[in-house]
Amino acid sequence: MTQPINSLAQKVLTIAKEAGDKIMAIYEKDFAIYEKQDTSPLTEADLAAHNVIVNALEAESDLPILSEESADISWDERKTWSSYWLVDPLDGTKEFIKKNGEFTVNIALIENGKPTMGVVYAPALNKSYVGIVGDGAWTEVDGEFTAISARKHDGAEVWKVVGSRSHQSPEIQNLLAQLDGDTELVAMGSSLKLCLVAEGDAHLYPRLGPTSEWDTGAAHAVALAAGANVTVLDPENPLDDNADALTYNQKESVLNPFFLVSA
């Protein structure tokens, strides 16, 4: 079949898979766990994947890189960037440690505050998501690409809502109560949660907990390319049709506001 993605996206996909190979080599054995300053677990795999991605992107492009593992770049410098690479070498570290397979390599191209291309690779699942805003979104398994698109609720079916495996917050319950009809929780780890909406396997993903920009950038691009929306979520008015789009590198903090992914 004809290759549906452009050469740059293919190169980024190749880089993500190379990082995934490093991750899987560590995943399949016992691994060391260090402590970050925020006490979240940091494994050998994060660092190995980071090094692969940064070295390959620097060889491919002159654009700056913001990675979770090299995030100490000043706002004075970052605010001058119009385009840059946004990287999470291993999203879902806790899923990695649990060995449930639901972790990803995330690489996004951000232009003027918006994700325009993203690759999400789940190495343990041998599945990739590629999104090029304006061109389309695909899953990729063993070199075979399948076009995907977000699927709107048809008004009669059960609402499929992506959420945490743990107890749902009152804010989430408030959102679910506003939906007309029955709801079903779809549990998933890492940036794969956004990809479920992009792929049409869920209608909504409300995020009412902390995330950083590198957690979402790549899957955000996939969601947009698949026809979904990613908007800032107001817990008091969670289904606001006029909500602002989620943006990147527009402020000193790299923390995201609450957001909603919807078909």
The parts of the chain modelled with pLDDT lower than 70 are 1-2, 31-42, 164-168
3-state secondary structure of 144: strand
93 is in an annotated binding site: yes
244 is in an annotated binding site: no
Each residue's pLDDT tens digit, 153-186: 998 999 999 986 555 678 888 888 899 999 998 9
Model pTM score: 0.94
* pLDDT value for 36: 61
* pLDDT value for 51: 96
Query: Which sequence spans correspond to the domains of the chain?
Result: 5-146, 157-260
* pLDDT value for 44: 84
**Cβ-based neighbour number of residue 63 at 10 Å:** 15
* pLDDT value for 3: 81
91 is in an annotated binding site: yes
Q: Does domain 157-260 have CATH number 3.40.190.80?
A: yes
92 is in an annotated binding site: yes
CATH of domain 5-146: 3.30.540.10
**Read out DSSP for 63-85?**
S-EEEGGG----HHHHTT-SEEE
